[in-house]
Amino acid sequence: MIQISHDRCIGCGTCVGVCPKGALFVVGGHADVDETLCDSCGLCIPACPEGAISMGVKAAESREVQPLGISQPPTPAKSQSRSVVASWTKSIAPAVGAVIAFAGREILPRIVDTWLAARAPSRTAGTGSAANEARRLRRRRRGKS
């Protein structure tokens, strides 16, 4: 679950605009989270300029219930590399998606138009096709007319 440090939060509202579920809001100069709407996607964590948002564990999830008289061996801690990869994926993935969307929307159509224009036969009078134009230029370089 998302936790917000009210000591570090300045109430800028950047996290509110990033949250896809609308679970974040600013009240009394500090951000707050509606736990019923939050799905813990983590998009708000890298968006916070003050680093006031973190991924926490619910109190009910943090306590392990053990039957009386039966001891369980301690569970090994999650590897640090997995948490680094997970945080990297959550912080970089939206930016990569935006770059890909921009390239598909803006750059790719221009490349296709340029490519189609280069493949289309020349429409100027008397010059002929692009292949004929290339032959004429090669002959001119060799000294032939």
Q: Domains, the chain, ranges and CATH? A: 1-59 (3.30.70.20), 80-145 (no CATH)
> H-helix or E-strand containing 115?
helix 108-119
64 phi-psi bin (left φ>0, alpha ψ -120 to 50, beta other): beta
The type of residue at 5 is S
Task: Determine contact, residues 1/36, Cβ cutoff 8 Å.
Answer: no
Q: CB 26: neighbour CB atoms within 10 A?
A: 15
Give the three-class secondary structure for 110. Answer: helix
Q: Is the pLDDT of residue 27 over 80?
A: yes
How far the first Cα of the chain sits from its last, in Å, is 78
Task: Determine contact, residues 45/54, Cβ cutoff 8 Å.
Answer: yes
Over residues 47-91, the pLDDT tens digits come to 888 888 888 765 444 445 545 555 555 555 555 555 555 666 667
pLDDT at 74: 57
Q: When comparing pLDDT for 83 and 12, which is higher?
A: 12
